[in-house]
Amino acid sequence: MNKAKLIIDGQEWEFPLLVGSEDERAIDISRLRSETNTITLDPGFGNTGSCESAITFINGEQGILRYLGYPIEQLAEHASFTEVSYLLIYGKLPSEDELAEFQRKLTYHSMIHEDMKKFLEGYPPTAHPMAILSSMVSSLSTYYPEVSEKEPDLNIVRLLAKVRTIAAYAYKKSIGQPFTYPQNHLSYCANFLHMMFAVPTEAYEAPSTLEEALNVLLILHADHEQNCSTSTVRLVCSSQADLFAAISAGICALSGPLHGGANQRVLEMLEMIRDDGSDYKKYVSMAKDANSGFRLMGFGHRVYKNFDPRATILRKTVGRVLDEMGIDDPLLEIAMNLEEVALEDEYFVERKLYPNVDFYSGILYRAMGIPTNMFTVMFTLGRLPGWIAHWNELRANPDGRIGRPRQIYTGETEREFVPIDER
Q: Tell me which residues are annotated as active site.
A: 301, 358
Task: Let me know: does 384 contact 159? Beta carbons within 8 Å.
Answer: yes
Question: For 192, phi and psi rounded to 5 degrees?
Answer: -65, -45
Least distance (Å) from ligand CMC to the CB of residue 260? 5
Residue 6 C-beta: closest distance to ligand CMC, Å: 26
- Using CB under 6 A as the binding criterion, the count of chain residues that bind ligand CMC stands at 21
Residues from 239 through 258 that contact ligand CMC (CB under 6 A) = 258
Residue 305 interacts with ligand CMC (CB under 6 A)? Answer: no
From 11-19, 86-94, 291-299, 330-338, give the range in contact with ligand CMC by CB under 6 A: 291-299
Least Å distance, CB 255 to ligand CMC, is: 11
Taking the C-alpha atoms of residue 242 and residue 19, their distance in angstroms, rounded to an integer, is 32
Using CB under 6 A as the binding rule, the residues of this chain from 38 to 97 that contact ligand CMC are: 44
SS3 label, residue 6: strand
CA dihedral 264, 266, 270, 272 (to 10 degrees): 70
**Among residues 354, 358, 375, 378, which is the contact residue for ligand CMC, using CB under 6 A?**
358
Sheet holding 11-19, edge to edge: 3-8, 11-19, 25-27
Across the beta sheet with 56-59, the strand order is 56-59, 64-67, 70-71
**Part of the chain binding ligand CMC (CB under 6 A), chosen from 31-39, 74-82, 295-303, 397-405:** 295-303
Stretch that binds ligand CMC, among 55-63, 149-157, 191-199, 294-302 (CB under 6 A): 294-302
Among residues 84, 64, 76, 23, the alpha carbon closest in space to that of 389 is found at 84
Instruction: List C-alpha distances in Å: 249 to 230, 235, 242.
Output: 10, 10, 11
Build a one-symbol-per-residue string for 3-42: x at contacts with ligand CMC by CB under 6 A, - elsewhere.
Answer: ----------------------------------------
Sole window of 59-67, 88-96, 293-301, 397-405 interacting with ligand CMC (rule: CB under 6 A): 293-301
Nearer Cβ to ligand CMC, position 28 or 345?
345
Among 159, 161, 189, 297, binds ligand CMC (CB under 6 A): 297
Nearer to ligand CMC, 25 or 351 (CB): 351
Q: Does 362 bind ligand CMC (CB under 6 A)?
A: no
Residue of closest CB approach to ligand CMC: 300
Chain-centroid distance, C-alpha 403: 21
351 binds ligand CMC (CB under 6 A): yes
Give me the amino acid identity at 390. Answer: H
Which uninterrupted H or E stretch holds 59? strand 56-59
How many whole angstroms separate alpha carbon 270 and alpha carbon 296? 10
Tell me which of 182, 250, 260, 362 binds ligand CMC, using CB under 6 A. Answer: 260
Choose among 286, 302, 270, 238: nearest CA to 44: 302
The span from the CA of 266 to the CA of 159, in Å, is 28
DSSP letters, 124-159, are -TT--HHHHHHHHHHHHHHH-----TTSTTHHHHHH
Nearer to ligand CMC, 66 or 224 (CB): 224
Single out the residue of 63, 129, 182, 298 in contact with ligand CMC (rule: CB under 6 A). 298
299 binds ligand CMC (CB under 6 A): yes
Task: Choose which of 113, 274, 295, 395 interacts with ligand CMC (CB under 6 A).
Answer: 295
Nearer to ligand CMC, 143 or 347 (CB): 347
By CB under 6 A, name the one of 232, 356, 376, 392 that touches ligand CMC.
Answer: 356
Q: For ligand CMC, which residue of 26, 123, 259, 307 counts as binding (CB under 6 A)?
A: 259
Q: Is 301 in the site for ligand CMC (CB under 6 A)?
A: yes
Element at 8 (helix H, strand E): strand 3-8
Strands 70-71 and 64-67, sheet pairing? antiparallel
Pairwise CA distance, residues 382 & 390, whole Å: 14
- Contacts with ligand CMC by CB under 6 A lie at 44, 224, 227, 258-260, 262, 287, 295-302, 351, 353, 356-358
